[in-house]
Amino acid sequence: MKLLKFLLPIMIVGVVAAYADEDGEISRHNESLNTRDLESLRRFVNEKRFTDLEDKSKNLSISGDVRTEWRHMTEEFCGHRVRGGNGQDCRCIPLGKNDFDIEFNLKFDYAQDNAWAYAHLQYDNSAGTERIDCNCTKNICGPRSRETGRCSRSDRSERKCTANRFHGSGSVDGLNLKRAYMGYNIFTDSCGNELDIEIGRRPLYDVFESEIQFDNRMDGALLKYAGKWECVANWYAQVGGWVVDERVSHFAYAAEIAFFDICDSGFDAKYSFIDWRKHGINRCYIKNPRAMKYANSQVVLTYHLDPETICVPVEIYGAVLYNHLAHQAIVPPADLNFGGDVSANCTCGCDDLTSRNKNKRWGFYGGITVGEVDVEGDWSFDIQYQYVQQYAIAYDDENGIGLGNATADCCGSFPTTGYQGVRFDALYALTDNLTIQTIIDWGKSTEREKHTYSKLELEAIYAF
């Protein structure tokens, strides 16, 4: 049984890797050259194949979870429904309010001596039977009606879509290398201070704390120093850098310093700074692109109430964010065609879709978390308010409630910053392994366009 326990996940990974799609950025020949190991390295790696599995199991942990998700979302822009009713994507296919996903996560954690490695494979598929796509004869549906935002009848008749076919929405791909990194402890002294370095891939929100930013990927390196001071239970300082676009040598950087339980007060404090700027041309030959003019400072304060006072853990938290470069930044324009070609002569009747007020550089959030989930019968909930101005956060790094942006996958998109909203998140453990999560989001634009968004999400998670 022990042998099966460790071999089965490895076999799954091997089969999936064999069918994974090629990236396509470089030729197959160059791909082969780049992935070919030198002889000395091949020998080193191959030797690990013959390490006894029982010995490996002392340092290896395997975990995972299976999830089923249902989301009910509404979104309206300039008086038109983006989801439900007459809502359609850029191929004139109805865009419903409901979204169902099936997800599986597989995680490996190996630690030995002063080094460690972690890998996380995620499979996130849309629910439904085997899909047969409806494709338009053109890439766009043509101008939309100003009154309804819908494709014209003639445009809909041009679709290469057989009405009586067995159409489904399911997918069986969705493989994602969510995390893959390794670390090494450079030193640890007698006082418990330590210096670590980690390199590889992970989400930014794994490393830096925020409820409204850090939603992009970190393919890079992290240096972290942690220790203890008098009057401070624990503290750390970390700095990281990662690749944004290797084609033009674009890198981004961030740093964070944190202090916990300051002078036994129950207060934690964190300060972070992130710099997305590109100096020089991007891949479209734009010099010093304004869309990357984001250099953000953020302060997070958290207060932990004494659990003996009210019998459950309680955290009260708040944060403020400031973009030092908002006067130079831009956000992508709204897609006025509800999924169509941005160049088509069609508008939805809204004016002033993008604010020119460069002082809109602030972001705020605050909330309270009550309870903690570890075993059967445990529960927790979180209530949070967010306010993010239009030039506060890089468009592709926004991590908060947002405005939905349902048509972003196949066309242009609406700005997701410039919003305020409320989130409620509750978690209950039915067993030691099975939990139910409920999330309710509501947000609206802080700009002059009428853009609202809401979401109800129910998710069952079985973790093992």
Q: What is the pLDDT of residue 333?
A: 52
Do 398 and 417 contact (CB within 8 A), yes or no? yes
Q: What is the pLDDT of residue 427?
A: 96
Q: What is the pLDDT of residue 338?
A: 41
* Mean pLDDT across 195-201: 98
Do 237 and 216 contact (CB within 8 A), yes or no? no
Tens-digit pLDDT profile for residues 362-393: 999 999 999 999 999 999 999 999 999 989 99
Q: What's the 3-state SS for the chain?
A: CHHHHHHHHHHHHHHHHHHCCCCCCCCHHHHHHHHCCCHHHHHHHHHHHHCCHHHHHCCEEEEEEEEEEEEEEEEEECCEECCCCCCECCCCCECCCEEEEEEEEEEEEEEECCEEEEEEEEEEEECCCECCCCECCCCCCCCECCCCCCECHHHHHCCECCCCCCCCCECCCCEEEEEEEEEEEEEECCCCCEEEEEEEEEEHHHHCCCCCCCCCEEEEEEEEEEEEECCEEEEEEEEEEEEEEHHHCEEEEEEEEEEEEECCCCEEEEEEEEECCCCCECCCCCECCHHHCCEEEEEEEEEECCHHHHCCCEEEEEEEEEECCHHHCCCCCCCCCCCCCCCCCCCCCCCCCCCCCCCCCEEEEEEEEEECCCCCCCEEEEEEEEEECCCCCCHHHCCCCCCCCCCCCCCCCCCCCCEEEEEEEEEEECCCCEEEEEEEEEEEECCCCCEEEEEEEEEEEEEC
pLDDT-based confidence at residue 157 (cuts at 50, 70, 90): very low
Residue 55 has pLDDT above 80, yes or no: no
Tokens 């955290």 locate to 315
Residue 349 has pLDDT above 60, yes or no: no
Do 73 and 83 contact (CB within 8 A), yes or no? yes
- Percent residues over pLDDT 70 in the chain: 70
Domain boundaries, the chain: 70-463
Do 336 and 408 contact (CB within 8 A), yes or no? no
Q: What is the pLDDT of residue 377?
A: 94
Q: What is the pLDDT of residue 142?
A: 46
Tens-digit pLDDT profile for residues 88-122: 776 677 888 999 999 999 999 999 989 999 999 99
Among the ranges given (93-102, 123-132, 316-325, 345-354), the one the predictor scored with the smallest mean pLDDT = 345-354
Among the ranges given (73-87, 249-263, 287-301), the one the predictor scored with the smallest mean pLDDT = 73-87
What token pair was written down for 185?
């402890």
Q: What is the pLDDT of residue 344?
A: 36
Q: What is the pLDDT of residue 5?
A: 47
CATH superfamily of the 70-463 domain: Carbohydrate-selective porin OprB (2.40.160.180)
Q: What is the pLDDT of residue 34?
A: 56
d(CA 347, CA 308): 59
Which residues have C-beta within 8 Å of that of residue 312, sequence separation ≥ 6?
A: 370, 371, 372
Average pLDDT score over the chain: 80
* Mean pLDDT across 431-436: 94
Among the ranges given (28-32, 142-146, 165-169, 402-406), the one the predictor scored with the smallest mean pLDDT = 142-146
Residue 412 has pLDDT above 80, yes or no: no
Residue 314 has pLDDT above 80, yes or no: yes
Residue 337 has pLDDT above 50, yes or no: no
